[in-house]
């Protein structure tokens, strides 16, 4: 397993906050996935990262969701999130990863939930995926309960504010706009971007577009092959790619520079100039 990718490393300046993106191929064994993440986080911490982002469904990954994912679901007090907290505490980082959250025992439903564990091991924030992957022949809604439309979830590390979306959410620009309007400097985007014709091109185009139109950094952590398309990347608020991977496991690091972000937003004040608000569309 490849744990290091020096081509994806960018040394931060003293004024930057270093963020790491982990790309790996989660299995159907949550304990093994925790062990793999521990080694990735160790490497990321050794590079100076204070925030580490792992993919969607880091806890348990299959190509098509079915009763297997329902059977493995846990509450956020369960062993997987507790294990993530232990990793975050052991290495003194903020750790973001995708979990399979239990809705209620016997419900037959789960939530696709991102969790943020702080350096003290406690749960800092969580985001439940809003836009479910009912596309390209998949029906995530068969077993996943969508997250409620709430005030965008953010958390702050050393004056840098982070917001979150998940995978298919990337195709809905209004969701990312809400996160940026809530004050996020960085969008964290864990994903299991299913491979297919033109899917990597769509992924990279959309990641860069969300960065440009919202003048935010985007740290996008996809699953590695075979269940993910890979192409994890860190993009700056002009859409410039700071670091990227192919489809194999690896780690990216790059610095979040608020001074650079401020310069970009001065030259291109698109957030300040917007004239349309975003409202919830209630589905029948």
Tell me, yes or no, whether 8 lies in a domain: no
Q: How confident is the model at residue 12 (pLDDT cuts 50, 70, 90)?
A: very low
Tell me, yes or no, whether 219 lies in a domain: yes
Tell me, yes or no, whether 1 lies in a domain: no
Answer yes or no: are the C-beta atoms of 140 and 63 closer than 8 Å. Answer: no
Secondary structure (H, E, C), 173-186: HHHHHHHHHCCCCE
Q: Calculate the average pLDDT of the chain.
A: 94
What is the pLDDT at residue 106?
Answer: 83
CATH number at residue 52: 3.60.110.10
Residue 125 three-state SS: strand
| Residue of 74, 101, 126, 129 marked catalytic | 129
| 167 assigned to active site | yes
Per-residue pLDDT tens digits for 214-257 = 999 999 999 999 999 999 999 999 999 999 999 999 999 999 99
| Residue of 74, 101, 140, 167 marked catalytic | 167
Structure tokens at 10: 């960018």
What is the pLDDT at residue 1?
Answer: 31
**Predicted confidence (pLDDT) at residue 189 exceeds the cutoff of 90:** yes
Tell me, yes or no, whether 102 lies in a domain: yes
d(CA 192, CA 186): 20
d(CA 220, CA 71): 28
Per-residue pLDDT tens digits for 20-72 = 999 999 999 999 999 999 999 999 999 999 999 999 999 999 999 999 999 99
What is the pLDDT at residue 14?
Answer: 55
DSSP annotation string for 32-83: HHHHHHHHHHHHHHHTT-SEEE--TTSS---SS-SHHHHHH-B-TTSHHHHH
Per-residue pLDDT tens digits for 122-172 = 999 999 999 999 999 999 999 999 999 999 999 999 999 999 999 999 999
Tell me, yes or no, whether 279 lies in a domain: no
Give the chain's domain count. Answer: 1
- The pTM (predicted TM-score) of the whole model is 0.94
Name the residue range of residue 177's domain: 16-269
| Residue of 56, 101, 102, 244 marked catalytic | 56
Q: Which sign does the torsion angle of CA 108, 114, 120, 122 carry?
A: negative
Tell me, yes or no, whether 153 lies in a domain: yes
Tell me, yes or no, whether 6 lies in a domain: no
| 129 assigned to active site | yes
Q: How confident is the model at residue 5 (pLDDT cuts 50, 70, 90)?
A: very low
Tell me, yes or no, whether 5 lies in a domain: no
Q: What is the mean pLDDT of residues 189-200?
A: 97
Q: How confident is the model at residue 13 (pLDDT cuts 50, 70, 90)?
A: low
């Amino acid at each position: 397993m490849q744990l290091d990718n020096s081509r994806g490393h960018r040394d931060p300046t003293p004024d930057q906050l270093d963020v790491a993106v982990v790309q790996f191929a989660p299995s159907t064994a949550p304990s093994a996935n925790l062990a793999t993440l521990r080694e990735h986080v160790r490497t990321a911490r050794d590079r100076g990262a204070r925030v580490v982002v792992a993919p969607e469904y880091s806890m348990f990954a299959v190509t098509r969701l079915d009763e297997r994912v329902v059977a493995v679901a846990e509450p956020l007090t369960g062993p997987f999130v507790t294990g993530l907290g232990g990793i975050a505490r052991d290495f003194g980082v903020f750790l973001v990863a995708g979990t399979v959250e239990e809705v209620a025992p016997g419900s037959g439903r789960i939530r696709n939930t991102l969790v943020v564990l702080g350096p003290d091991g406690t749960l800092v924030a969580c985001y439940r995926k809003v836009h479910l992957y009912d596309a390209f022949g998949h029906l995530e809604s068969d077993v996943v309960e969508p997250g409620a439309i709430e005030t965008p979830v953010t958390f702050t590390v050393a004056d840098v504010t982070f917001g979150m979306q998940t995978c298919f959410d990337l195709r809905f620009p209004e969701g990312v706009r809400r996160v940026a309007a809530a004050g996020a400097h960085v969008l964290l985007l864990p994903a299991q971007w299913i491979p297919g014709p033109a899917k990597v091109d769509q992924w990279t185009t959309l990641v860069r577009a969300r960065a440009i139109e919202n003048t935010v950094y985007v740290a996008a952590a996809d699953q590695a092959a075979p269940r993910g398309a890979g192409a994890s990347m860190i993009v700056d608020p002009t859409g410039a790619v700071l670091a990227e991977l192919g489809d194999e496991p690896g780690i990216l690091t790059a610095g979040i520079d608020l001074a650079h972000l401020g310069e970009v937003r001065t030259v291109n004040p698109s957030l300040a100039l917007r004239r349309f608000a975003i409202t919830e569309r209630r589905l029948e």
